[in-house]
Amino acid sequence: MKRQINKIIATNVVTNLFVSSGRRGLSRFVTIILLAVILAQPVTATTYISVEPIPSEDVVGPDALNAILSAGYSNLELWSNLLLNECHVVQNVIDALTANGAITTINSSNTRVRVAAGGFEGITDPSFVFTVQDSGPNAASAAEINVLDNALGYVLNQGGTAHFSPDNSKAFDFPLDYAVVTFTGTLTGLQAKGFFEYLGTIDPALFSGQFAGFTQIDFQGSPTNNSMLFLKPATTKQQFITGLFAAASSTSGASYVTLNNNGQPTTAKAGISFPENDWIAFPGGDQYLARLNNPSAQLLSQLAVLRQRHLQAVADLLDAIERDRVSTYLNHQFRCAQ
């Protein structure tokens, strides 16, 4: 987007300066200077991290997970926002990593997080979705993005997480095709969930099929998370494009924005990683912790405390669900685990 804006500015500068042929020499000089300034401005790139607060089935068991999901998206979204904004579960992880020297480039000026929707194989849950500036001045490093994602996966008891760069197909572990659908105005998590389900009526493989999923993001600097980035599932590229374009074209306010030079729907490639931990084989979260780049004993101790706090928050939610008091608990009785 910034490259396109710079190109437009540069074109207008050149046009205006060459109107007067009597000052052609000066115009050329000024044009060169202005173009150098314009092209020297950094083009920022973005990485997204998506981590759910709902724990893995392998940690809490299938019955507990089903009970949590039975609370419904709106209640789980409220719970997630309370964890994020009242209990500071994400900031606590960042603070622990920073205090112990595990990260030095991730800070509040290049990283922001909000609760947004994430869908996978037919299920949509609220997630903590990070927007991280990974290039230009004050950029977060790719290595530290990986550390943060793994630390979050451990603390939040996840079976797997994801971080990906739509701007750089060579970032992280491997490239994967994606396409983006953008909506006018704002997009709620429930609306994103609804669009994902509608997509399933057009092509079930893009909703509940293997690897079908999306993340709700603030694509290309949007002030709101009004876009859904879909990674290509286990289908052909053409099947993916055809179904998603049909869903977007028949939904008011939705636009399939991943287009080729001829304005036709296509895909692009993102660099992506899927950190994970097998909690059955590694009940201590060792696979996540091994990716923290030789963490200190103090850091491991602090992260373990944060993980137990999250498990207590899950237990408190389950207690409210079992007593059929979810709304009362979330709106009036919620307390952060200590």
Burial class (CB in 10 A: 0-12, 13-18, 19+), 190: middle
| Residue 97, in any domain of the structure | yes
Print the domain residue range for 11: 2-40
Shared domain for 19 and 83, answered yes or no, is no
Can you give the pLDDT at residue 17? 31
The ranges of the chain with pLDDT < 70 are 1-44
Shared domain for 80 and 204, answered yes or no, is yes
Shared domain for 101 and 17, answered yes or no, is no
Can you give the pLDDT at residue 223? 86
What's this model's pTM, rounded to 2 decimal places? 0.87
Can you give the pLDDT at residue 219? 94
Can you give the pLDDT at residue 31? 36
Can you give the pLDDT at residue 224? 87
Can you give the pLDDT at residue 44? 65
The total domain count for the chain is 2
Shared domain for 149 and 255, answered yes or no, is yes
Can you give the pLDDT at residue 43? 52
Shared domain for 28 and 51, answered yes or no, is no
> Which is nearest to 3 in space by CA: 33, 38, 31, 32?
38
| Residue 338, in any domain of the structure | no
Q: Are 255 and 266 in contact (CB under 8 A)?
A: no
Can you give the pLDDT at residue 39? 37
Can you give the pLDDT at residue 8? 34
| Residue 250, in any domain of the structure | yes
